[in-house]
Structure 1
Amino acid sequence: MRPMNGDHVTEAVAGCTAALRAAVDRDWRALRAGRLEWDCHATAVHVADDLIAYAANLAGRAQDAYVPFELTLDEGTDNAGLLHVIETTGALLAAAVRTAPPGVRAFHPYPFRSADAQGFAAMGVAEVLLHTHDMAEGLKIPYEPPAELVEALLACLFPHVQPGPAPWPTLLWATGRGELPGRAAVTEWRWINNLVIPAERFTLTGLRPAAAHDLRLGGDGGFTWLDGGPYEGTREAASFLMKAYEGGVHRPEFGVFVLVRHEDGRAIGGLGFHGVPDEDGRVEIGYDLVEGARGQGYATEALRALADWALARDDVSSLFATIERDNIPSQAVVTRVGFVPVSGEDDTEPASELLHYELRR
């Protein structure tokens, strides 16, 4: 399970053009692309248009809308020329992804109004793989992308989808293009880029399954950590995230966030939810910082940003935290944010060793 990058875009485009060259002499305008309403020619143009639009938004740092231009083919462009356009626009997206500085995000409408370089790479790969499948169905030619490429795409853009027995059938099912034994048919779907929540001195960056997997195995999750972090609590939270993903119950907006400092791009800690809100809208939170970031108000700032985001949602009515009695600094953090002491329920530790706090909307 690898984070998406420019190499994935290049691989996807190469597989697409190799498959479609087998039918380059066919009339693509006369054949419908699988279950789409478009013909195969229109679908191929759409792929190229998306690739260049993603490259432009990322390279141009678009913030509120797509960069205002549209791809137009020269009159008389044949299918071979159209494949060359797909190769070229794919190369531009791959280059934009490879050269984007860490932390850069640009506009994409769904679902959180932005995506980072990994997200744009994954969206480009998704457009290529899925629409090549659609065109291959219409042209009646074989096509199946590499399993590792599809697995990386699922972990990046479909963190809410439980992995299936094989990546490609799972992606086709998740996008309404196929069936998967034991799962209901999908009629509506969306991919999900990771959520980021801004704070004054850092950004709360949503952790994707691929990064969580790496952290669980002792890696850095793709982040540059202060003082050789992360702290053990962040690795444990990443492990819980992976269990939820593998079990099909992960909701990315209620996952784990890494605190990435603006001044130097270093990760200084982790914070997030222990699960989704219960039927009463109550959800538990936890956090930790690497040692070199403690005592500077970072935890208070991060918790306040997360609390403001969560309590603005209709499905969250209160936040809950459990803190060890001798952890005085952590008690001070929740108190400064506005949490108040409450009685605990179903403690797994002796009541004398744990304190419980709640912040209501």
Structure 2
Amino acid sequence: MLCMGGDQVEEAVAHAAKVLRTAVGRDWSVKAGGLDWSCLETAEHVAGCLVAYAGQLTARETETWVPFEVTFDEGSGPEDAVRVIESAGGLVSAVVRTTPPGVRAFHPYPYGSADARGFAAMATAELLLHTHDIGQALGVDAEPPPAALCEAVLAWLFPQVMPARTPDEHWATLLWATGRGSLAGRPRLDKWRWHNALSIPAGRVTLREVSPAAAADLAMGGAGGLTWIEGGPFDGTRRAAEGVAKAYASGVHRPEWGMFALVRTEDEVAVGGMGFHGPPDEEGVAEVGYDLAVGARGRGYASEALRSLSDWALARPGVSALLAVIDHANEPSQAVVTRAGYVRASDRENARAYLRRA
């Protein structure tokens, strides 16, 4: 599994400090590569982001940014900047390690919140990318960051981007995904946003979007970073995860329209999986599927989750209806969709079809 957490933040801090210290004797008043900030201002921005991320998570702030910022003392120089980045990196890595599962805090992109792993990924991205910006401006010929670190950032924050085929290409792909470089066969980007996993409340459970990294782990028999109820995940969940991993590898995965884990809010235990077979088709119809571990069945979790997921999906632009295709003999699953507001439609492929329209 491509892990993301405190260890990855510390690895990125170590890389940044090593690169930046090779240039402490140069003029940090020049503009950083591709930015309107000077190199020193860019370093201040990095430190500010790291401390802000730690503050968001420790405050459990869910509505807006905690109202403070980090500024260097007057007269601070390049070596001081590196030391502050190291200190700020230590703060956010410690907070990420100690934040309980399920805690989310405000970040505007793209859904207004992120969990600890999301903040770790963003902190790692800030460190790697802005170190590149500063080094480029100061003429530092630095080695690329560790390939596994770049690969993890891509998998966690850029699930819509086709991953690199070889380790040597991960860094170039991350630079391209953030508008900093070119890749053969891909148009250069002038606008970009990273993606934090979506979380949808659904009564006694929460739908947590499964990242390509976690999906690959689930497909290979792992837990995907989740604590599962006994007997979980069930086979259907692993097959769905394999589909997400394959779609990501081929560059056709679309965030939001993949797989979600159903996690009980009371104890952070995953009880099943639910999601889409892909984005809506040309008629605006998306197909849904779901699967519960045996020990979680018969308690209404699936109906609650499907109702909330359907409400969310049908509110998206261009979505006209949701489709569920169920075996004739699977009466419990038919009851789930009926309770979630779906109605019977014409049979498809020798199975019962149910629709819920916008």
Alignment TM-score, normalising by the size of structure 1: 0.96
Match of 1:356, SS state, is strand
Q: Does 1:5 align with 2:2?
A: no
Q: Does 1:168 align with 2:171?
A: yes
Q: Does 1:145 align with 2:145?
A: yes
Q: Distance in 1 between matches of 2:31 and 2:231?
A: 54
Match of 2:318, SS state, is coil
Q: Distance in 1 between matches of 2:145 and 2:182?
A: 18
Give the aligned residue type for 2:130.
H
Q: Distance in 2 between matches of 1:315 and 1:118?
A: 31
Q: Distance in 1 between matches of 2:231 and 2:10?
A: 33
Moved more, 205-214 or 310-319: 310-319
Q: Distance in 1 between matches of 2:149 and 2:216?
A: 16
Match of 1:228, SS state, is coil
Q: Distance in 1 between matches of 2:230 and 2:319?
A: 34
CA contact (8 A) 1:199 1:302 kept: yes
Alpha-carbon displacement from aligned partner over 1:150-172 (angstroms, at most 9, x marks no partner): 00110000001111231100001
The match for 2:15 is: 15
Post-superposition, which runs of at least 4 consecutive aligned residues in structure 1 deviate over 6 A? none
CA contact (8 A) 1:3 1:156 kept: no
Give the aligned residue type for 1:123.
M
Q: Distance in 2 between matches of 1:233 and 1:3?
A: 24
Q: Distance in 2 between matches of 1:26 and 1:232?
A: 58
Q: 1:284 aligns with which of 283, 287, 291?
A: 287
CA contact (8 A) 1:231 1:290 kept: yes
Q: Does 1:248 align with 2:251?
A: yes
Q: 1:220 aligns with which of 197, 217, 223?
A: 223
Q: Does 1:357 align with 2:349?
A: no
Q: Distance in 2 between matches of 1:286 and 1:142?
A: 50
Give the aligned residue type for 1:146.
P
CA contact (8 A) 2:10 2:89 kept: yes
Q: Distance in 2 between matches of 1:79 and 1:37?
A: 18
Tell me the matched-pair count. Answer: 354
Q: Distance in 1 between matches of 2:318 and 2:84?
A: 45
Alignment TM-score, normalising by the size of structure 2: 0.97
Give the aligned residue type for 1:226.
I
The match for 1:314 is: 317
Q: 1:329 aligns with which of 328, 332, 338?
A: 332
Q: Distance in 1 between matches of 2:39 and 2:280?
A: 44
Once the two structures are TM-superposed, the CA of residue 313 in structure 1 deviates from its matched residue by 1.2
Once the two structures are TM-superposed, the CA of residue 176 in structure 1 deviates from its matched residue by 0.8
Match of 1:20, SS state, is helix
Match of 2:291, SS state, is strand
Give the aligned residue type for 2:189.
V
The root-mean-square deviation of aligned C-alpha atoms, in Å, is: 0.9
Q: Distance in 2 between matches of 1:213 and 1:337?
A: 29
5+ residue gaps in structure 1?
none
Q: Distance in 1 between matches of 2:132 and 2:74?
A: 26
Alpha-carbon displacement from aligned partner over 1:317-337 (angstroms, at most 9, x marks no partner): 100011011101001111112
Structure 2 matches for 1:98-177, cutoff 5 A?
Answer: 98-143=97-142, 144-165=144-165, 166-177=169-180
CA contact (8 A) 2:262 2:272 kept: yes
Give the aligned residue type for 2:274.
L
Q: Distance in 1 between matches of 2:246 and 2:43?
A: 38
Q: Distance in 2 between matches of 1:277 and 1:190?
A: 22
The match for 1:231 is: 234
Q: 2:341 aligns with which of 318, 338, 341?
A: 338
Once the two structures are TM-superposed, the CA of residue 122 in structure 1 deviates from its matched residue by 0.3
Once the two structures are TM-superposed, the CA of residue 12 in structure 1 deviates from its matched residue by 0.3
Q: 2:272 aligns with which of 269, 273, 282?
A: 269
Q: Distance in 2 between matches of 1:21 and 1:111?
A: 34
Q: Distance in 2 between matches of 1:304 and 1:220?
A: 25
Q: Does 1:187 align with 2:190?
A: yes
Match of 1:23, SS state, is coil
Alpha-carbon displacement from aligned partner over 1:109-142 (angstroms, at most 9, x marks no partner): 0101000000000000010000000001001112
Once the two structures are TM-superposed, the CA of residue 344 in structure 1 deviates from its matched residue by 3.8
Match of 1:253, SS state, is coil
Once the two structures are TM-superposed, the CA of residue 26 in structure 1 deviates from its matched residue by 1.4
- Percent of matched pairs sharing the same residue: 58
